[in-house]
């Protein structure tokens, strides 16, 4: 930073910070807030455009953005060099000169589409230690020498293998499809001995490597070797055995084996040479890739690539119980839906709220009390609407990562975005069993982190708000949540059906003008169906009671019967204002200008049906006018008694036009009255709880947005993997899809509030329906329509995939979701909750969702044949699992993780979608997912029992992530330099202490707090 005419006076490092804009009438400012706790930096711009441009520039000025740009430039440079070397050199020079003077033409490596260019595994033999008695702890650093640049670049490293001179490394090396590697590329392998593993961090970032590491970093150089990629690819056995030498090239320190790896090829031979009692050896070969693939059909890649992004894969091979090898590909991918779904949802919220505000304004003239109430409600709603618009604008500016990292969960601009939403997929390739896919969606618990949990979560806040709203006194009329939901449904039906009826009426007139009998019949059929739905929407008693309540709120009114406005809640509870005579007295004091006819609504509502009957009768007469008997039969038809136009001769259009206009007029009158009455109901809901009502709506929208993004991702992935499973597709449109959430939150402190938010958000997903449509363009992202409490997600599939669906789904049948949540706290905070707190919340949630799971199972058994699904061949097993789950929930055992395993097993057997959630989808989530994967390998694919722990350690090790940069950890999204080298380390100390030590720890903590504040 500097002044206009001075040297730089300050340098600001833009890392781990966020930007806040403050706009006011006098100035426009930008504030930089730092996560480290440093003082905020205030910058003032000259104008609003300058402020916005600075905000964008500062937002892009970070190391991640610069690294992405550098990588893009490198790829572009390599592509340009390839094109010039292969095309331009040949075009402008003779062939002989091109070979001698032009740039060399590099030989590309043949590969399958969307597969890595090159993958190989590594192993060393007969390594020589510096001292005879020392046990080596070795790892291999992989560097690349690009043939065009001749610069050595550090690429990746293996994990550290301890205590052996013949290490078999778990981590392989992979080069993604876009990486510029050719047969002429040279790869340098350097072997190091780590003196102290706990103090050494294996660096895997892509950095220049002109010098060997210093000896003071806790590791010593053993030897190195170099090979050409072409030699490995063209070798007959696809294996190279290389000699390791010291840096001066004189002394031999061992050999290194490089094996080319190809996914899908089974290895020959037995695994007897792998001994189970060797502690320093592992049986898995690991490689990494960045490819997304299905088991058999790759036509779904374009649509999947539109949803998944930046996949990271690892490949293992483990021995089975019969001494064969099985290969496992583990994939983790981000999803573009993390931002797409919330933006679509916020846009719908804005449109819905704008319609509601306009409907409130269209209520007409109201008495002073009600008019002031309306003005206050509209003012608050406009403020909330502005906040939604600002949030949508900020999300539109977002660039960079396609997921929200855990360190950003408290940012206001990202509060609608789910935390760490990823797909975790395990593809198992066994020698004697069919290939299998196991998917788990990992995501942070849907919760309003920015708003905090001081007063609890949604479950508690909604209950408290509803109790307070019942006691609002005479200021407004109380309508139950069921009635307000019904009012919103009526308004939604009006907005949906009115334009459809008008459109079908116009089509009817168009068919009449063309004298097309078939078209006339079809148009009349559609018009009749939509009009009947329209009339049926107003049969509810709520509309009648709301009209009466609205009339009493007009500046002057008189009732034929002195009655208090009632609503349909009178069946279950009395109106709150009945207990307040002052309310009735205030309404009676309004000047009486007219009398309210309670039967008027019935007449207006019935006129729509009568008008439709007239149209139907006239169409029948027009179609049967040549038959005298039909004409007489039509004259005697009582349904035509109210029709004034009975002529059947002349032009069809002229005879139908006045009847259609009458239908539209009657419908318009019904719409006006119904809209106003339902808007008045919504006015009462908002007025009874300002501003808490709007804040709760915001919080619920935030939580629902996070939950919906994960659900849409899970549904799309499940649909793609089940396209060839006719049993699953039948289950999807006949019963619906089971969605099981595994919660790992504690019931202590803030996490109890998160659990309350999560429970309500997942419950709200029951109101979401899915519809599969054929994609008309290359844009395969889902489209969201509807309103709060009723959303339809339209999932787009390419034509080839769409043809595989059953006819019911292709015709647009809505697909239901059945979400269930089972939570078991497993961290140290849950220990505190179980010993000194309350676990009732967790017990109630598990019990409620067990009943929902039983309902789905009952529906499934009633509608699906027993032999329909491959996992459902033994019904008794599934019944036993449900009973076992019921017993474990009733047992109320501390940290009963058996609940999670049983729920997950039931979900997989019922073809459901699995979710695993904790606070941030990092430590606890990765622990649960990796344990579940290894358990599946053991129970379903015969993993050798002696290698269960080794497989688990292999999957949990962060060092098998290969070429990941420390600052790009997909699990954390934050800097990880100071984190342990294994993802599965998390605080477990309090889980191991006795109750006596725990009490001592609590007493000491309280003493320290008291001393601090004295």
Residues with a known catalytic role: 918
Provide the residue count of the chain. Answer: 1014
The tokens for 183 are 């047969």
Would you tell me how many other CB atoms lie within 10 Å of the CB of residue 977?
A: 8
User: What is the tally of helices (H) and strands (E) in the chain?
Assistant: 29, 26
Residue 161: half-sphere exposure toward Cβ, Cα within 13 Å: 28
C-beta of residue 1004 within 8 angstroms of C-beta of residue 993:
no
CA distance 188 to 225: 6
CA distance 407 to 920: 9
- What does the angle CA 236 – CA 144 – CA 315 come to, to the nearest 5 degrees? 60
CA distance 491 to 238: 69
- Among the listed residues 481, 480, 492, the one whose alpha carbon sits nearest the alpha carbon of residue 359: 492
C-beta of residue 921 within 8 angstroms of C-beta of residue 406:
yes
CA distance 440 to 130: 46
- Among the listed residues 960, 977, 955, the one whose alpha carbon sits nearest the alpha carbon of residue 968: 977
Q: Pairing state of beta strands 737-743 and 815-823?
A: parallel
- 946: Cα separation from own chain's centroid: 37
CA distance 761 to 103: 60
CA distance 775 to 782: 10
- Among the listed residues 868, 75, 837, 913, the one whose alpha carbon sits nearest the alpha carbon of residue 439: 913
C-beta of residue 708 within 8 angstroms of C-beta of residue 845:
no
Residue 514: half-sphere exposure toward Cβ, Cα within 13 Å: 13
Question: Residues 379-387: contacts with CB within 8 Å, 24+ apart?
Answer: 380/686, 380/690, 380/691, 380/694, 381/353, 381/356, 381/357, 381/686, 381/694, 382/357, 384/353, 384/694, 384/697, 384/698, 385/350, 385/353, 385/354, 385/357, 387/698
Q: Pairing state of beta strands 768-774 and 595-596?
A: unpaired
Look at residue 385 and give its three-state secondary structure: helix
Residue with tokens 């007969």, as numbered in its chain: 126
CA distance 608 to 670: 8
CA distance 696 to 831: 31
Look at residue 1007 and give its three-state secondary structure: helix
CA distance 797 to 421: 22
Is the Cα torsion angle 592, 593, 596, 597 positive or negative in sign? Answer: positive
- Among the listed residues 490, 509, 545, 527, the one whose alpha carbon sits nearest the alpha carbon of residue 609: 527
3-state secondary structure 260-319: ECCCCCCCCCCCCCCCCCCCCCCCCCEEEECCCCCCCCCCCHHHHHCCEEEEEEEEEEEE
- Among the listed residues 517, 513, 523, the one whose alpha carbon sits nearest the alpha carbon of residue 656: 513
Task: Indicate the burial class of 488 (C-beta count within 10 angstroms; 0-12, 13-18, 19 or more).
Answer: buried
In the DSSP assignment, the letter for residue 166 is S
């Amino acid at each position: 930073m500097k002044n206009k005419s001075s040297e730089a006076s300050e340098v600001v490092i833009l890392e781990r910070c966020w930007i806040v804009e403050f706009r006011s009438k006098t100035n426009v400012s930008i504030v930089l807030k730092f996560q480290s706790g440093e003082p905020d930096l205030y910058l003032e711009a000259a104008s609003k455009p300058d402020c916005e441009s600075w905000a964008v520039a500062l937002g892009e000025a970070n190391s991640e953005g610069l690294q992405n740009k550098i990588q893009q430039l490198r790829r572009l440079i390599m592509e340009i060099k390839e094109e010039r070397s292969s095309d331009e050199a040949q075009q402008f020079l003779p062939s002989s000169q091109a070979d001698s003077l032009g740039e060399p033409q590099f030989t590309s490596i043949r590969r399958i589409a969307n597969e890595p260019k090159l993958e190989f595994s590594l192993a060393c033999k007969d390594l020589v230690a510096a001292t005879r008695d020392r046990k080596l702890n070795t790892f291999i650093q992989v560097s690349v020498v690009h043939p065009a640049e001749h610069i050595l670049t550090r690429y990746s490293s293996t994990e550290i293998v301890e205590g052996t001179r013949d290490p078999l490394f778990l981590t392989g090396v992979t080069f993604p499809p876009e990486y510029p590697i050719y047969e002429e590329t040279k790869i340098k392998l350097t072997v190091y001995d780590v003196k102290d593993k706990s103090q050494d961090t294996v660096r895997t970032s892509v950095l220049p490597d002109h010098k060997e590491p210093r000896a003071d970093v806790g590791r010593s150089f053993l030897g190195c070797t170099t090979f050409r990629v072409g030699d490995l690819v063209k070798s007959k056995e696809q294996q190279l055995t290389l000699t390791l030498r010291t840096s001066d090239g004189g002394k031999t320190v061992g050999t290194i084996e490089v094996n080319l790896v190809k996914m899908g090829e089974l290895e020959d031979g037995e695994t007897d040479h792998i001994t189970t009692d060797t502690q320093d050896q592992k049986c898995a070969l690991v490689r990494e890739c960045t490819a997304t693939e299905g088991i058999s059909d790759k036509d779904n890649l374009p649509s999947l690539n539109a949803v998944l992004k930046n996949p990271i894969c690892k490949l293992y091979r483990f021995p089975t119980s019969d001494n064969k090898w099985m290969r496992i590909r583990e994939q983790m991918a981000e999803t573009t839906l993390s931002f797409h779904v919330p933006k679509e949802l916020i846009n719908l919220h804005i449109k819905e709220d704008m319609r509601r505000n306009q409907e409130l304004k269209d209520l007409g003239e109201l008495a002073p009390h009600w008019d002031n109430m309306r003005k206050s409600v509209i003012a608050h709603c406009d403020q909330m609407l502005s906040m939604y618009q600002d949030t949508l604008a900020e999300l539109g500016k977002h660039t960079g990562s396609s997921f929200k990292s855990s360190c950003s969960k408290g940012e206001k601009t990202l509060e609608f975005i789910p935390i760490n939403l990823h797909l975790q997929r395990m593809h198992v390739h066994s020698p004697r069993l069919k290939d299998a896919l196991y998917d788990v969606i990992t995501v942070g618990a849907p919760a309003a982190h920015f708003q905090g949990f001081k007063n609890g979560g949604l479950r508690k806040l909604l209950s408290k708000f509803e109790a307070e709203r019942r006691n609002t006194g005479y200021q407004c009329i109380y309508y139950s949540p069921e009635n307000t939901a019904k009012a919103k449904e009526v308004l939604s039906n009006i907005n949906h059906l009115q334009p459809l009826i008008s459109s079908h009426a116009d089509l009817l007139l168009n068919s009449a003008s063309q004298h097309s009998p078939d078209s006339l019949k079809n148009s009349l059929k559609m018009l009749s169906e939509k009009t009947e739905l329209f009339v049926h929407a107003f049969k509810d008693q709520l509309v009648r009671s709301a009209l009466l309540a609205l009339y009493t709120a007009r500046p002057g009114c008189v009732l034929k019967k002195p009655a208090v406005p009632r609503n349909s809640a009178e069946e279950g509870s009395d109106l709150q204002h009945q207990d307040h005579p002052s309310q009735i007295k205030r309404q009676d004091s309004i000047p009486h200008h007219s009398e309210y006819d309670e039967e008027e609504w019935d007449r207006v509502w019935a006129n729509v049906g009568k008008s439709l009957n007239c149209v139907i009768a006239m169409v029948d007469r027009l179609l049967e006018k040549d038959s005298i008997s039909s004409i007489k039969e039509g004259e005697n038809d009582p349904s035509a008694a109210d029709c004034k136009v009975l002529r059947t001769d002349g032009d069809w259009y002229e005879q139908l036009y006045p009847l259609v206009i009458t239908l539209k007029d009657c419908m318009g009158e019904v719409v006006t009255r119904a809209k106003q009455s339902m808007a008045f109901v919504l006015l009462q809901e908002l007025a009874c709880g300002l501003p808490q009502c709007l804040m709760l709506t915001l919080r619920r929208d935030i939580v629902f947005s996070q939950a919906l993004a994960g659900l849409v991702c899970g549904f799309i992935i499940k649909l793609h993997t089940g396209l060839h499973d006719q049993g699953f597709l039948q289950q999807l449109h006949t019963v619906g899809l089971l969605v099981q959430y595994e919660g790992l939150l504690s019931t202590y402190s803030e996490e109890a509030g998160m659990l309350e938010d999560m429970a309500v958000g997942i419950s709200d997903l029951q109101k979401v329906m899915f519809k599969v449509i054929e994609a008309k363009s290359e844009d395969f992202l889902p489209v969201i329509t509807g309103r709060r409490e009723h959303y339809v997600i339209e999932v787009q599939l390419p034509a080839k995939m769409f043809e595989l669906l059953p006819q019911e789904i292709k015709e647009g049948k809505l697909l239901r979701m059945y979400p269930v949540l089972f939570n078991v706290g497993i961290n140290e905070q849950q220990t505190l909750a179980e010993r000194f707190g309350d676990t009732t919340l967790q017990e109630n949630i598990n019990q409620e969702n067990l009943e929902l799971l039983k309902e789905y199972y009952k529906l499934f058994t009633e509608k699906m044949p027993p032999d329909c699904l491959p996992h459902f061949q033994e019904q008794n097993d599934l019944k036993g699992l449900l009973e076992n789950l019921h017993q474990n929930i009733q047992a109320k055992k501390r940290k009963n993780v058996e609940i999670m395993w049983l729920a997950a097993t039931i979900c997989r057997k019922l073809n459901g979608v699995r979710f695993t959630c904790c606070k941030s989808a990092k430590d606890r989530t990765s622990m649960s997912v990796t344990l579940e994967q290894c358990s599946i390998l053991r129970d379903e694919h015969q993993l050798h029992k002696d290698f269960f722990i080794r497989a688990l350690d292999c999957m949990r090790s962060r060092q098998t992530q290969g070429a990941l940069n420390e600052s790009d950890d997909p699990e954390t999204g934050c800097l990880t330099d100071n984190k342990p080298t294994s993802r599965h380390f998390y605080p477990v100390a309090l889980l191991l202490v006795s109750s006596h030590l725990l009490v001592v720890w609590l007493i000491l903590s309280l003493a320290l707090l008291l001393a601090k504040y004295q």
